[in-house]
Chains A and B, each alone.
Chain A
Amino acid sequence: MLIGNYQETYRSDEALLRTPAVRGWMAALGTAALVFPFVAGDYLLYLANLMGVLAIAALGLNILTGFTGQISLGHAAFMGVGGFGAAFLASRLSVPFWLAVPAGGVMACLAGVVVGVPSLRIKGLYLAIATLAAQVIAEWVFVNWTSVTGGIRGLNVPPARLVGVSLDTDFRIYFLIQAALAAHVWFAANLFRTRWGRAFIAVRDRDIAAELIGVPLFRTKILSFMVSSFYAGMAGGLWAFFVKVVTPENFPLSLSIQLLAMVIVGGLGSIKGTLFGTAFMTLVPEVLKLGVGALRTVWPGAQSYFFPMRDVVFGALIVAFLVFEPHGLAEMWNRTKRFFALWPFEK
């Protein structure tokens, strides 16, 4: 049982990972992530890549919604801006991927500023509706601005190339995606230890009070929109190089909702929760698919029920988490951890 955390220097007191146990677990996690692609099959690799990309976008959304309290129903649109931006640069202008993806992120960031400006005047439910409008308008632009986005046919993206190696398989791009995810997690974890990150949280908890103690409300909200949409744009750019084709159908409103569901199920305002939530919401339909596949031998009609069943399970998970576990998987994790940390003295 851990009874205290004795620090001798300011440096160790300020460290992100403060106890040897945490450092040990993180090292183990890192090693496991490095070994994983060598033992996993194609299907698992594909899922890991998908989760990696979605986790970056969901992290961005959690920064905005979970930490700053600004609801966005338009995060798929930001992903789309990043995705189309990166794809356009890479396919039409032959920009290398390591430039195209961040450039897509910056474009999404600018889009975030445009969408974020109304947040000065409107908030809560109204802001949710404004971002919903942004999503609808962005989808329309993706379809209609054919000279840039290729319309409904979309854009084909050449594989990313790094020091002469073409990252054209799930195995190769795995390392790129997971490294990007690690960098984004690291940045987010540190962000909330800074002045600006704390300002985000102050705005979420009580915006008027935050303004009274000297947090510039508008600048903080805009900054949060920028960081958040940059994350989404990076995710979109990585998505483009992962699936190698970008179409408007990749970024529908339902993706925005899915990202929100990941954040809710994982835990609003929790970084590890976001990762749990992404993994959980990505894996549930896959498990469901396996279940339906297994049923097929005894009940041949089961297959046709897969899609509606997925909708029902998706909705039921959101409702159940909001009603019974509003702090999400992160809270469940913390409870479990507390149980073991306090054992045998827990109540």
Chain B
Amino acid sequence: MDHFLQLLASGVVTGGIYALVAVGFVIVYKATGIINFATGELMMLGAFFAYTAMTAARAPFALALLVAVVAAGGLGALVERVVLRPLLGQRAISVIMVTIGLSSIFKGVAQMIWSGEYRSFPPIFPRAPLVLGTVILPSRQVWPFAIALAAILLVGLGFRFTRTGTAMRATAGDQQAAFAMGIDIRRVFSLSWSLAAVTAAIAGVVVGTIGGISPQLGAIGLRMFPVVILGGLDSIPGALVGGIAIGVLENMAGGYLDPLLEGGGVKEVVPFVALVAILMIRPYGLFGTREVERL
């Protein structure tokens, strides 16, 4: 039972970070209909921005996080304007491949600037672990989880209560009607990309503080797919639920199945098995909108 609770708790913690990335992913999908395969690389770049601010400029962690957020936001807007806008409304294959191309560029550039070696953040968080009954969570997991939750909350509140957030929700709901009401759709598009890059960057920084960073960190972006498919590609609550569910599933599978199999790697593959099952049973996910097509 203790083992179970421990796995559950670390699953929830990992899932919180997945949820944060998934939120950015969903925002972009809702606004522009693009699936962003460069999410993982945006995380990686965000982590490197913060790392550079902390090591080269000796900035405190909060400031470094801010640097990463601003830099990633700018990068997101730039990428949207230069690369994605010309491709709006193109075939699915084009928009998928263009984000894959971007991820390759990001990875290469990061490797040129920061080289391929593994680095770890200087110690940031207080060392005391969080003790919940029999479950003990190390501080390097608790703090990232808290930061991720705070970021999700902030994004959610911004979406709900600010003028810009309302404009973004209107655009997601009905693009033409929003346009007719005087909402600047193009601004919404670039804002969505900025926001996606920002959430990815924060997630990248917290993931980096847990396990170190390298240009290969972007590979983690693939794990977003089970999360967003489970929750529904266009649902922000879905991203939260999906993130936690996949985080728990992954940890349980790793904890219980990995010892039984020689080759291992169950933790990586189980979310994708779940993904296939979801697509077969309920392709639009738990909270996603069911698509209706007209000719």
Contacts and interface: CB of A to CB of B under 8 A. Distances in A.
Interface of A: 65, 69, 71, 118, 121-122, 124-126, 128-130, 132-134, 136-137, 140, 143-144, 146, 151, 206, 208-209, 212, 253, 257, 260-261, 264, 268, 304-305, 307-319, 322-323, 326
A315 B83 CA distance: 12
A215 to B, nearest CB: 14
Given A118-B280, A319-B105, 16 more contacts: A126-B283, A129-B35, A129-B275, A130-B276, A264-B93, A264-B94, A307-B108, A308-B108, A308-B109, A308-B215, A311-B108, A313-B108, A315-B100, A315-B101, A315-B103, A318-B98
Given A144-B261, A257-B100, A322-B97, A309 B112 contact: yes
A146 B262 contact: yes
Given A71-B93, A129-B225, A322-B97, A143 B263 contact: yes
Contacts of A121: 279-280, 283
Contact of A137 (B97, B108, B116, B273): B273
Contacts of A310: 108
Contact of B272 (A69, A136, A144, A206): A136
The 10 A-B pairs with the shortest beta carbon distances in the complex, nearest first, are: A311-B108, A315-B104, A318-B101, A312-B108, A315-B105, A308-B111, A144-B263, A140-B269, A124-B92, A133-B272
17 contacts: A65-B93, A118-B276, A118-B279, A125-B35, A126-B283, A132-B225, A144-B263, A146-B262, A260-B100, A304-B115, A307-B111, A308-B116, A311-B104, A311-B107, A312-B105, A315-B101, A318-B98
Contacts of B87: 322-323
Given A137-B276, A144-B263, A208-B295, A315 B94 contact: no
B34 to A, nearest CB: 9
A310 B87 CA distance: 24
A122 B279 contact: yes
A257 B219 CA distance: 14
B293 interface: yes
Interface of B: 35, 83, 86-87, 90-94, 96-98, 100-112, 115-116, 215, 222, 225-226, 229, 233, 261-263, 265, 268-269, 272-273, 275-276, 279-280, 283, 293, 295
Contacts of B276: 118, 130, 133-134, 137
A315 B97 contact: no
B243 to A, nearest CB: 16
B92 A305 contact: no
A151 B263 CA distance: 8
A309 B110 CA distance: 10
A291 to B, nearest CB: 15
A137 B101 contact: no
Contacts of A212: 295
